[in-house]
Chain A
Amino acid sequence: MIEFEPVDLTTEERRLQVEVIEFLEQELPHGTYRPGLGFSAEKDPAFSRKLGERGWLGMALPTEYGGHDRSAVDRFIVAEQLLRWGAPVGHHWVADRQSGPVIAKFGTEEQKRTFLPRICSGELSFCIGMSEPDSGSDLASLSTRAVRDGDGWVVSGTKIWTTMAHEHDYVIALTRTTPIEESGDKRNGLTQFIIDLASPGLTATPIPFIDNSADFCEVVFDDVYVPADRVLGEVGQGWAQNTSELAYERGGPDRWLSSYLLVEELLRRDGASDTDARPSPELLDLLGNAVANYWVLHHLSLSVARDIDRGGAPAIESSLVKEMGTRFEQDVVTAVLAYLDEAPNTLDSSVFGHLLMTAALTQPSFTVRGGTNEVLRSVAAKGLRPSGSSR
């Protein structure tokens, strides 16, 4: 069976927790900013740079490339507090979570020197170039092509659901470099590229989201020239690299904290201790249930991070956590809506009202983005082996 070891935090790790909290209390006092829902919070490059100055971006990347040689657990601790705060992490989130680590793992020396220091400083922002209009869960069937052209490559095709592509700097795109007919298996013949979103021929157009926000994009590559030195890793090895990238994308605190602030703000609103009224049993039920689940998800998710630091490859564990964490994020929204006597109103500009409206509208995406729960279950099921086979 799959096992998760409970984690003890070291003195240094506990100190880091406190440092991040103190930083946030100073930088983003309550009432001075509009908190967001998890990692889909606002984009604020200045805030990202401040985090970079504190050494809290690219934490697990090597020092020689501007990183800090720290652990996945350290990154977890920082990420968790930022999400809890609803801090504007939109600019650096993807770069810090996955683009930096994959470049560090597969990139050339020149790529590491070019990109990693600027990711660690909070300057550069990245997008994920995986899904296409006709290739979602069946990602290996993708059809964006990259063809050799002199010294470089020419990319043509369409990527979709590319968050912030209209504002961010780079996309790491998975493309087909060997046609399926020649590659045999569709997972062969794929290659990752680091592509400048300002490249001629590249158009990023926002797709209005369910809550009328406009961060989701369609990216059209119309014969976009990409220099040869922007191939990430090995030509033809894109599938394996991409799978490893997904491990960074799953299992972290961003997969169970998206609706957390709804609970905190509800408690702030209805749990005030300066009134004589006792909290209602319904409120106690909601809070007890929410905290118990956040608590156990924190420990499971932290256990995945510690495993990564010990050299593990917890793909199955992180799928298991993401699948239940994202369902729980939705359950929280459902529970809060069921508890309330009033309906969300899109013009409600209070902190709680805005979070509620956004959460009510966007919660279906929690169990879709970063791999649907159906795909995650298939991945997790591979780790569930009968007793005979594990002996």
Chain B
Amino acid sequence: MTTTHTADALVTETVERLLTDLSTQGEIEHAESTGWSSTVWAALAEVGFPWVGIDGAKGGSGGTLYDLAAILDAIGRHAAPVPVAETAMVGGWMLAEAGLDLPAGPVAVAETTGARVVDGRLVLDAPVAFARHADRIVTLMPVGPDGIHLVSLRPDQVTIVPGYNLAGEARDTVVVDAPANDWETSQISDDLSLSAPWNSIRHRGSLSRSIMAAGALASMAQLTVDYTNDRRQFGKSVASFQAVQIHLVTVAQCAVRAKMAADVAVRAFARGGSLHEIAAARVVVDDAITIGTRAAHQAHGAMGVTREYPLHQLTRRLWSWRQEWGTTKQWRRELGSTVVERGADELFALVTEHPQP
């Protein structure tokens, strides 16, 4: 049995090269007019990256969760506005697992199991990332009396009400026009409880945000060190002032905490371990976002809050991702509940137990 826990070097190098070339400051800015970058998506799709981690026999690109994590880390570092997490980590994976066809383009996922009826039409109860760009929009729903189904909707079956997150990425409202008997569905559970199937999906979604945020925090840390070394005041670089070094150290700490949390959560998940690492990672990452972005902006001064300097392309994404696939509060309390269930004698085991290689 292989105990590898790193990404294929070819994947890491290729995604780095593609995104360095294409996910430029100008392209990211331009993407805000449409809610995504079709150029970056096309380049990643050409090499199969949006389907990495999905079984080749089921229509995916194959590869491991570690490969996918490397791609998502790079997407975070380069602030790339593309639905790779939505497709590879969640939506496309759901379709493949349920035995439904993977479309050629992006798959969007309703970040909810809720739907309400408004004026006789079904409205998915949460913004759907990149819905307007997707070839399929997937959600979980009880359909009929026989259990939970994965529902896969085509663009012509829905009306999209556009919306944007703080980073100008598409976060749309989806209204389902087609009647239920026209939906493509696949039954994925026998009982009508959503909690088990939904649990696995929201953990995947949350993990994707932790990985991407850790990438963005790493870029942000380097950008902050670079800027404060270049910027001169009182005749020397501002990075040489102890008052500024406090911010640099804070940003670096946030970056390493988030990266370690994401890395360990990926290992735990890849090895089929328990899910509490994903909750813990989100608590750590969200906290790192709050503290790290504040320190990075403070160290940049006024330049950091302009559109002409790229810091905002990272920080606005971080602030958005912090609120997606569950909030910090939800994950923290969920982890707290796990702690209470395991009890005082098991508390330290939660801290020190390692996912088995």
Name A residues whose Cβ lies closer than 8 Å to a Cβ of B.
1-4, 6-9, 14, 17, 80-81, 84, 260, 263-265, 267-268, 271, 273, 279, 281, 283-289, 291-296, 298-300, 303, 320, 323-324, 374, 377-378, 380-381, 384-388
In the complex, are the beta carbons of A9 and B354 less than 8 A apart? Answer: yes
A10 to chain B: closest residue by CB: B357
Residues of A within 8 A of B348 (CB): 81, 84, 260, 264
Given A292-B283, A295-B351, A378-B245, A323 contacting B253 (CB threshold 8 A): yes
What number of residue pairs across chains A and B have CB atoms under 8 A from each other?
A: 161
Residues of A within 8 A of B340 (CB): 267, 271, 273, 279, 283-284, 287
In the complex, are the beta carbons of B332 and A292 less than 8 A apart? Answer: yes
Interchain Cβ contacts under 8 Å between A and B, 27 examples: A1-B218, A1-B255, A2-B252, A6-B267, A8-B354, A264-B348, A281-B333, A284-B333, A284-B340, A287-B336, A287-B340, A288-B334, A288-B335, A291-B335, A291-B350, A292-B261, A292-B280, A292-B281, A292-B284, A292-B332, A292-B335, A293-B283, A378-B245, A381-B245, A384-B221, A384-B245, A384-B248
Docked pose: A1 CA to B242 CA in angstroms: 19
Mark B315-357 against chain A: 1 for CB-CB distance below 8 A, else 0. Answer: 0000000000000010111111101110110011011101001
Residues of B within 8 A of A3 (CB): 256, 259
Docked pose: A320 CA to B255 CA in angstroms: 11
In the complex, are the beta carbons of B347 and A289 less than 8 A apart? Answer: no
Determine, out of B53-61, B78-86, B144-152, B222-230, the stretch whose residues face the partner at the interface.
B222-230
Q: Is the interface of A mostly helix, strand, loop or mixed?
A: helix
Docked pose: A310 CA to B3 CA in angstroms: 20
In the complex, are the beta carbons of B221 and A264 less than 8 A apart? Answer: no
Docked pose: A95 CA to B194 CA in angstroms: 56
Residues of A within 8 A of B154 (CB): none
B286 to chain A: closest residue by CB: A292
In the complex, are the beta carbons of B283 and A289 less than 8 A apart? Answer: yes
Docked pose: A260 CA to B335 CA in angstroms: 17
In the complex, are the beta carbons of B344 and A296 less than 8 A apart? Answer: no
In the complex, are the beta carbons of B344 and A288 less than 8 A apart? Answer: no
In the complex, are the beta carbons of A295 and B339 less than 8 A apart? Answer: no
Residues of A within 8 A of B202 (CB): none
In the complex, are the beta carbons of B352 and A387 less than 8 A apart? Answer: no
Chain B residues 246-280 with CB under 8 Å of chain A are 246, 248-249, 252-253, 255-257, 259-261, 263-264, 267, 277, 279-280
Residues of A within 8 A of B230 (CB): 386
In the complex, are the beta carbons of B249 and A300 less than 8 A apart? Answer: no
B299 to chain A, nearest CB (A): 11
Given A267-B347, A320-B253, A17 contacting B260 (CB threshold 8 A): no
A17 to chain B: closest residue by CB: B352
Among A289, A294, A385, the residue within 8 A (CB) of B225 is: A385
B288 to chain A, nearest CB (A): 9
A234 to chain B, nearest CB (A): 32
Docked pose: A388 CA to B226 CA in angstroms: 8
Residues of B within 8 A of A268 (CB): 344
